[in-house]
Amino acid sequence: MNSPTTSEVVTLPRVIVSGLSGGAGKTLVSLGLCRAWARAGSIVQPFKKGPDYIDAAWLAIASRNPATNLDPFLFPRTSLLSLFFHASKGRDIAVIEGNRGLFDGKDEDGSASTAELARQLRCPLVLVMDITKMTRTAAAVVAGVKAFEKDLPLAGVILNRVAGERHKSLATRCIERDTGVPVLGALPKIPDNPIPERHMGLVGDRDLSSAEAILDRLADIVEEHCDVQRIREAAEAADPMEKPAEPFFLESEPAGSKVRIGVVKDEAFWFYYPENLKALELAGARLVEVDLLRTADWPDLHGLYIGGGFPELKAQELASNNTIRQRVRALAEMELPIYAECGGFMYLCRSLVVDGQEFPMAGVFPVRTELCVKPQGLGYVEGTVVAANPFHPEGSTIIGHEFHYSVCSAADGSVLNFALKMNRGQGILAGLDGLVYKNTWASYTHIHVVGEPQWAARFVAAAIEYRRAIERKPAGRSV
């Protein structure tokens, strides 16, 4: 990855959909717009603001194009702009779904908020408002939003949970008369949530056979109750932007024989940023999908990447697959470079407790994890690397995010080697994260390669060294 410079000025239709808070309806509107424009023939590029896998998966299905995360906290500004243009190349329009409330960020100044992202991208913003039992007060809210940050590119509002035609008409007149902000839609109260939910937000796409029908229904709702053409016109009126002169990714891949890195993708583990996988490939890896739920032969691997997901939903199947659990544990003992995040970390522990039932896991670390009802770690994290490991230089600072419902306890008498001292966030135990055993790293912290640009090269370098070590040994039985 290169540090981009700006030069060419280009026009790219784009719109951000935000809300006053979580649950305002921005996901419904974002998905509905993506699907409506995609099925009308437009090439739509979806983005999700912030560190989110699940919403991004839905946006990808809705638009029929891979979704990209944009995060002003995790990404340097120039890298964020470069990634935005890289993902938008050849697209007709970009739809960016915000997160949380419009001005909510990592601190009291709203740093890294959706509003900040709108300014960085010079992007028209549509605000979705829940106006339950509210009419003229809605105008006061819009006036406050408009005045709170003077340079906010507010293009219009969409009313949500409107009780009826009179409610819609009165609220619209108040907002447009008293604030000058156009009302671009009014969604009725929908008795049944068209999008299934789970404890971490939207349900994953891998276990949802009815996704297409759900998304078509959302598009129908948005087209019926919103002025989709006016929203499109607002997106097309976005100011021209300076395009980074250099591509986000290097255009040529390293020469030579590639190392094989297994990427776990199954119904339990599927949280991966596409840029992380692409960066591994460009650093010299050939990615091979493997599965922890089914007993099948794996190719000889030189590295293993276990992302996050929902291992608690497949705990019985994971525990029953003793062959794969033993295989992963043996690979860790053989010093295969293994990088595991959140759900992947939980799998590498000794056991996982769900609803009072304990399930054996891979047993690389003498740690017991237990699922709780409420989140135990949520938000951005920063930490200092305090121990040697193959993936992150000792003494460096890591930025990332965590979102987990589990707590951990170490086995009696066990010695744990933590490599990450948390300066912000919860981690695994006592403000520490990043368990290391031989060449295995396991953490609750998720990283994005845009914010940690050396990670992929170090992972591949460790895989190359592992392959060399294996080649120096006498031939033996594969694991």
SS3 category, 47: strand
pTM surpassing 0.85?
yes
Strand order in the sheet with 397-404: 285-290, 259-264, 303-306, 338-341, 440-443, 432-437, 418-424, 377-385, 397-404
Q: Please, which pLDDT band fits residue 9 given cuts at 50, 70 and 90?
A: confident
The DSSP 8-state label assigned to residue 140 in this structure reads H
Cβ atoms < 10 Å from Cβ of 470: 15
Give whichever of 13-22, 197-206, 252-261 has the largest mean pLDDT: 13-22
108 phi/psi in degrees, rounded to 5? -70, -15
Residues catalogued as catalytic: 342
Are 250 and 1 contacting, i.e. CB atoms less than 8 angstroms apart?
yes
- The helix (H) or strand (E) run that includes residue 83 is helix 77-88
Pairwise CA distance, residues 452 & 454, whole Å: 6
Q: Are domains 6-244 and 259-472 of this chain identical in fold?
A: yes
* Assigned superfamily of 6-244: P-loop containing nucleotide triphosphate hydrolases (3.40.50.300)
Average pLDDT over residues 148-152: 92
How is residue 402 written in tokens?
A: 């965590």
Pairwise CA distance, residues 435 & 419, whole Å: 6
**Tens of pLDDT, residues 64-77:** 999 999 999 999 99
Place of tokens 């009780």: 163
Q: Which CATH number fits domain 259-472: 2.60.40.680, 3.40.50.880, 3.30.1740.10, 3.80.10.10?
A: 3.40.50.880
pLDDT value for 243: 82
Mean pLDDT across the chain: 92
Sorted by where each begins, the domain ranges of the chain are 6-244, 259-472
The amino acid that residue 385 corresponds to is V
**Tens of pLDDT, residues 75-84:** 999 999 999 9
Q: Please, which pLDDT band fits residue 449 given cuts at 50, 70 and 90?
A: very high
CA proximity to 11, closest of 122, 155, 127: 122
Cβ atoms < 10 Å from Cβ of 267: 16
Place of tokens 């590498």: 348
Are 329 and 467 contacting, i.e. CB atoms less than 8 angstroms apart?
no
